Amino acid sequence: MKLRKGSHDATGLRFGIVVAKFNKFVTSKLLSSCVEGLTKHGVKADDIEVVRVPGAFEIPLVARTMAKSSRFNAVICLGAVIRGDTPHFDYISAEASRGIGQAALDADVPIIFGVLTTHTIAQAIERAESAKFNRGGDAARSAIEMATVMKTLCAEADRLTGHKLTSGSTKSRARRKR
């Protein structure tokens, strides 16, 4: 049995972060924890690019665009959708999660779901606090692990096939379609 797993050493890796401006009192804490988590594991500040979007609904398109650019080893999506009195929460939550999942499959680059979907503001704040749940830091760790496992898998595929199959590159996607 072969076991492949990612590491937590992110030295030399590049990360994109898409963060919603809506509920900024929560998303800014998620972003701070995420960036802190990345740099703590070896990512240089210059290797992190943050793009702010209006809300969670807009995250998937930007995440997909960043991932397909071949500039990042992983893209992290951060947002906060808090239930209100209307069904708006259900629509936004469902479309954001569906879109982020589809973007990851389209781009062949890890795209991490770090969008909080909570019933109350208090729950969102609690999950954004680095001393409590630290979901921003969790998203950073997931991104590092996925980026390193994909790097390992692509290197193994390169070795076995003699073709460069680097995760996210346009040339590798075209070769895989043949």
The residues annotated with a catalytic role in the active site are 88
3-class DSSP state of 30? helix
How many CB atoms are closer than 10 A to CB 79? Answer: 28
Q: What are phi and psi of 115, to 5 degrees?
A: -95, 120
